[in-house]
Amino acid sequence: MASIVVFLIFYAALYEAGFDERSERKIGKVMNDCEMNDEGLVRQPTNAITGLAICIPALVILWRRDDYMESETLTFQNKKMEISLYVGSVLAVAFGATLSHGTKMKFGGQLDTAAMIIWILIPITWTLIRVLNKSQKFRLRLWVALSIIIYSYTLYSGNFGVVDFYFLIIPIWIILEIVAHYLERGCINKWTIQATIFFGLAYISRTIGERDSAFCNSESMWQWHGVWHLICIYVIWCIWMHIIQNLSISKD
């Protein structure tokens, strides 16, 4: 909770400073995420509030942290580090989405992109080390390296964004899970299946909520991009449940 309070104070400080010129230029305009940009504290109220709601899985994980730490059925190594890493990545996604939609500042969008890449690479790299039978230390190094490389590429590439990256990486993740399953280094459980299905639904919501869609109503409080955020809350939870049931598979 302390991190959320600090973030909100930081957000208020940005508002008092006047956000930036890019944000000011977008007032009264409709961007690709459909919602009209208002003047005032929050440029896109629905998308920003639903973005902040992505904190919910992180808060639930922290609330159940002692249960995870003391559980004898969850035998994965380095529990404290892995809990902190996942919680931190989820909070980064929530704060990035809120800053991106709430301020429409350039760095808010950059944080949003970086956080989405950092978060999705956590389950991807866990699956990869199960396939390769590598260690957690190898996974951490791989996670850091891929996060830096992929974010840098999206930052300096004019035609490859985070959505393109998700289109590429999600099928790869599914294939790796199938390979790991047949190598008996983990399982495709109900959480894997639910995460895949609900991410598909979330992406559909995101797509029909774009500016040029017939479903876009820029002045409505109902925003399909906000629904994308809300469905992703459950996707994030499903992936966490999938991870904690497979972490003990990796080598020391």
Matching residue, tokens 């955020």: 229
Q: Is the pLDDT of residue 77 over 80?
A: no
Band (pLDDT 50/70/90 cuts) for residue 75 is low
| Whole-prediction pTM | 0.90
Can you tell me the distance from the alpha carbon of 206 to that of 228, in angstroms, rounded to the nearest whole number? 5
> Domain limits of the chain?
2-249
Other CB atoms closer than 10 Å to residue 35's CB: what's the count?
27
pLDDT tens digits for 49-73?
Answer: 999 999 999 999 999 888 887 776 6
Considering only residues 52 and 187, tell me which one the structure prediction assigns the higher pLDDT.
52
Ordered DSSP codes for 153-186:
HHHH-SS--HHHHHHHHHHHHHHHHHHHHHTTSS
User: Closest by alpha carbon to 241, among 48, 18, 100, 57?
Assistant: 57
pLDDT at 252: 47
Range name among 179-188, 213-222, 241-250 with the lowest pLDDT average: 241-250
Which is nearest to 11 in space by CA: 149, 104, 148, 134? 104
pLDDT at 150 over 60: yes
Q: Tell me the per-residue pLDDT of 111-136, one tens digit each, with 9 for 90 and over.
A: 999 999 999 999 999 899 889 988 88
Please state, rounded to an integer, the average pLDDT across all residues of the chain: 88
User: CB neighbours of 97 closer than 8 A, spacing ≥ 6?
Assistant: 47, 48, 50, 51, 52, 54, 112, 115, 229
Residues 152 and 220: their CA atoms lie apart, in Å, by 35
Q: Helix (H, G, I), strand (E, B), or coil: what is residue 149?
A: helix
Question: What is the distance between the alpha carbons of residues 112 and 51, in angstroms, rounded to a whole number?
Answer: 10
Q: Check: CB of residue 243 under 8 Å from CB of residue 86.
A: yes
Predicted confidence band at 76 (pLDDT cuts at 50, 70, 90)?
low
C-alpha distance from residue 137 to each of 15, 77, 78 (Å): 41, 11, 11
Residue 21 pLDDT > 70, yes or no? Answer: yes
Least confident among 109-118, 145-154, 183-192? 183-192
Tell me what pLDDT residue 209 has.
86
Look at residue 187 in the predicted model and tell me its pLDDT: 76
Burial 84-101 (b: 16+ CB within 10 A, else e): ebbbbbbbbbbbbbbbbb
- Residue 131 CA from chain centroid, whole number: 24
Q: What is the pLDDT of residue 146?
A: 94
pLDDT of residue 104: 92
